[in-house]
Amino acid sequence: MSQTSFPALFSPITIGGLTLRNRIVSTGHETHLNEQGQIGDAMIAYHEARAKGGAGLIVTEVALVHSSAVFVADPIRVDTDACIPGYSRLAEAIHRHDTGLIAQLFHPGREILASEDGTAPVSYSASATPNERFHVMPRPMPAEMIAQIIAAFGDAARRMQTAGLDGVEIVGSHGYLPAQFLNPHVNKRTDAYGGSLANRTRFIREIIEDIRRKTDPGFVVGLRLSGDELSHEGVDQSEMLDACEMIGADAGLDYFSVVAGSSATLAGSIHIAPPMFQEAGYTAPLGQGIKDRTGITTIITGRINQPQDAEKIVASGQADMCGMTRAMICDPQIGSKAQAGRTDDIRACIGCNQACIGHFHDGYPISCIQNPVSGREIRLGEVPAISDKRRIMVIGGGPAGMKAAAVAAERGHDVTLFERDSQLGGQTRLAQLLPHRAEFGGIITNLTREMELAGVTIRKGVAVDEATIRDHGADAIILATGATPRWPDFEGRDDAHVVDAWQVLRGEVKIGKSVVVADWRADWIGIGVAELLARNGHSVRLSVNGYMPGQTIQMYVRDASIGRLHSLGVETIPYTRLFGADEDSVYLQHIMNDEPVICENVDTLVLCQGHTPDDTIETVARDLNIPFHLAGDCIAPRTAEEAVLEGLLAGRAV
């Protein structure tokens, strides 16, 4: 493909005083790369990689405009001039790649996730209306505090202009403070900021006015809103359209950035970073509604991970620009690759949420399970050169082996990958068979292409043994032999009808009508197998060695899955471990007191008990005294994220 394949996506656009080279946007998202509340080298390197890779516009993550806005530990703050040097350095780095830079200005209101010192802070909102998700009861914001917050937005915008940024974006999406004033279910005020639509939009309109007074005419002012909060007592699409029309009529706004969902409820929060079960570009109609009603430039964000989808949205007039944030976390060069016609070379995001927003929720810097360089640009951005070309043997064609082979070959080594099965992918081939997980198989497609581009020789259907290693004559070996299902010892294991998750997914066993799924890991396997069997008509009980199904996986993926299990009638039994089984019962123990929990009338017990490393070839390599490196589950069974990261590190090490 050539650039003409995406004529709308790669056409320039002017917003306020800013002209952008294309319609691709890296929207504001938490990176956890700030340094004690300031922008430093790690965050600059992260954003510069996206600018260099072809983004037309970068919007930085939320920055707190006021001391009452702290919602996590160590946030970025723009309430003093101390923020200016860091933003100035970032602007210089981004602008040298002909990319625009806009900063998000933020106050969460009642949406408080954490604090700076571990104590629960006092939160402020339009009214004393509690938050369902975080169980926060806010104080109504006094009139004098409203004036302070409005002025704080304007002062922060002035600082961003001083730093050399092109504009600011007011974050009113996902039920944050501006949306709390908009929402009649939250805003119960009887003064000038409550009641009528004009009063409920006043807070936002006065923020825009204050920013305009304190910045130059060409400075861009945007507003991020949820086109529909998709939540209990959230603002729906029709209400938001009316609000946007009134806000846009004041002529102070340059663009709307439109998303979906709300932080205020678990159901609404999944749309903050929608998992793979949401359709690509599913929020586009929300953007089109606001664009049609207001005539103001509109950005739309929500599962747009391929240039083909972005082109369709822009060309059809549903939006003027597309937020492709996770797409660029996965492949920072998606813009330049698409423009050059290299669409097959794009590493497509699969919406797993594991290392992007999943890292944020766990308090770690951002990354990507397919692209471990994301968030580690300073440490891993440069591929080390080789001093001499070597013959490298990679054993195992799962994600760890595939990544290791691609990286080692890209560096210039002669690399051959050996896979004992007829297909590449390892456990990924099973993961994609679970409900709503088909897109996970994209890892195989992406890594296969990386190996092709690097020139890896692939030999499938070869079970490597000592003779294979000797015959190949490798200078070094990378072992990525994976793991196998763990079958723990328990009473009745050989007498009851017991199968494991792999056998279920491969269709190798018959499953009875009544099933108990014994889930030790509390990850996506147990929760996914339970859903799969329930959808196939089985009566399912899910025993979890933890406090909830999916305890170890990203919360949006987990919460949505738990909702589906409830709809399917799956009985969940938390806090239990597998003890034994017989021909018609499964015996569990409560993990807190060892008391028995008995499941009667059971036809089949399905084991989701983790995995055991396959280290057979490691012993052979040690005996042959050939230098080797390990990657992935053969070290210790974990997830695809660790497999790909360790594959990259092994490929760099040989």
* Residues tagged active-site: 176
Query: Which residue has tokens 């996730």?
Result: 113
**H helices within 475-627, ranges in order?**
501-506, 524-535, 555-567, 616-624
CB-based contacts of 318, cutoff 8 Å, min separation 6:
284, 285, 287, 288, 291, 300
489-525 core/surface letters (b: 16 or more CB in 10 A; e: else): ebebeeebbbbbbbebbeeeeebeebbbbbbbbbbbb
Measured CA to CA, the distance from residue 290 to residue 243 in angstroms comes to 10
Per the CB < 8 A criterion, the answer to whether 235 and 183 are in contact is yes
Q: What is the DSSP letter of 523?
A: S
Closest to 261 (Cα-Cα) out of 346, 341, 357, 368: 357
Q: What is the DSSP letter of 279?
A: P
Tokens of 497: 């009808």
CB-based contacts of 305, cutoff 8 Å, min separation 6:
280, 324, 326, 327, 330, 348, 349, 350, 351
Closest to 97 (Cα-Cα) out of 319, 342, 333: 333
Instruction: Give the Cα-Cα-Cα angle 238, 261, 316 (nearest 5 degrees).
Output: 65
Closest to 160 (Cα-Cα) out of 205, 98, 222, 68: 222
CB-based contacts of 593, cutoff 8 Å, min separation 6:
none
